[in-house]
């Protein structure tokens, strides 16, 4: 009898890569373009991860300016911010260990696909991944919807064997999105969550180092500890 395939769903910003500086610069450009006060550095860093429209609305952009602010962000990020990123130390080794253990690795990110794919190519992540699911260009989907599309691909890839999956992410949206599909979520404590955000959202465990990723993931998706 074939065992279910172990699957790790992976957030991108704040989990696999540190993209805060490019995001912060683009957020600043968006607020300046629409004539609103620029938020604090901490608030701008919190834009890494959640859907852009949610972040803008949550942090003071009125409904009538949302489209203009989002367009300004996209313009700056597409020209400059998209490349201002680096992979967190230890992530390539963690992904390699998971692949060697037989896990399928699927990115599920609220970053638009048109940016997420080339960033993964540029930083060398693509060869370590099995699939990538990003947001549509208008970032209209919730994290739960993005995870749902990732799981559709996983079901097709695993077929009759089935799978056991866990999410790894650094924000409450990852935890809540995974829960919509009955999946546990491991918290990436090196990311951009504020204080106890991940625990309060319901993360099953908050990791403090990328070196903990292989063991924590495999313990959730296999019948043996890593």
High-pLDDT (> 70) share of the chain, %? 98
Instruction: Indicate whether 203 pLDDT > 60.
Output: yes
| pLDDT recorded at residue 225 | 45
DSSP assignment letter at 6: E
- Give yes or no for residue 1 having a pLDDT over 80: no
Can you give the pLDDT at residue 42? Answer: 86
* pLDDT computed for residue 26 by the predictor: 92
pLDDT tens digits for range 25-48: 999 999 999 999 999 988 998 888
As a whole number of angstroms, the distance between CA 63 and CA 199 comes to 31
Q: Rounded mean pLDDT of 162-178?
A: 96
User: Is the Cβ–Cβ distance between 44 and 27 less than 8 Å?
Assistant: yes
Among 7, 41, 67, smallest CA distance to 192 is for 41
CA distance 149 to 199: 25
State the chain's mean pLDDT as an integer. Answer: 93
Active site residues: 11
pLDDT one-digit tens code per residue, 111-169? 899 999 999 999 999 999 999 999 998 878 999 999 999 999 999 999 988 999 999 99
The answer, yes or no, to whether residue 223 has pLDDT greater than 80, is no
């Amino acid at each position: 009898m074939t065992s279910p395939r172990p699957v790790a769903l992976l957030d991108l910003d704040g989990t696999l890569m540190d993209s805060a500086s490019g995001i912060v610069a683009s957020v600043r450009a968006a607020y300046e373009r629409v004539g609103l006060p620029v938020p604090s550095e901490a608030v701008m860093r919190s834009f890494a991860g959640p859907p852009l429209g949610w972040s803008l609305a949550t942090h003071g952009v009125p409904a009538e300016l949302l489209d203009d602010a989002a367009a300004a962000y996209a313009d700056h990020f597409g020209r400059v911010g998209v490349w201002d990123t680096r992979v967190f130390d230890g992530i390539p080794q963690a992904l390699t260990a998971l692949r060697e253990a037989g896990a399928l690795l699927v990115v599920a990110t609220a970053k638009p696909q048109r940016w997420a794919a080339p960033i993964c190519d540029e930083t060398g992540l693509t060869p370590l991944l099995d699939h990538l699911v990003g947001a549509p260009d208008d970032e209209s989907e919730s994290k739960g919807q993005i995870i749902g599309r990732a799981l559709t691909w996983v079901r097709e890839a695993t077929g009759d064997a089935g799978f056991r999956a866990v999410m790894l992410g650094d924000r409450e949206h990852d935890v809540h999105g995974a829960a919509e599909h009955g999946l546990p979520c491991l918290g990436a404590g090196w990311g951009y969550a504020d204080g106890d955000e991940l625990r309060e959202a319901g993360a099953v465990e908050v990791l403090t180092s990328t070196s903990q990723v292989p063991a924590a993931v495999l313990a959730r998706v296999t019948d043996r500890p890593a």
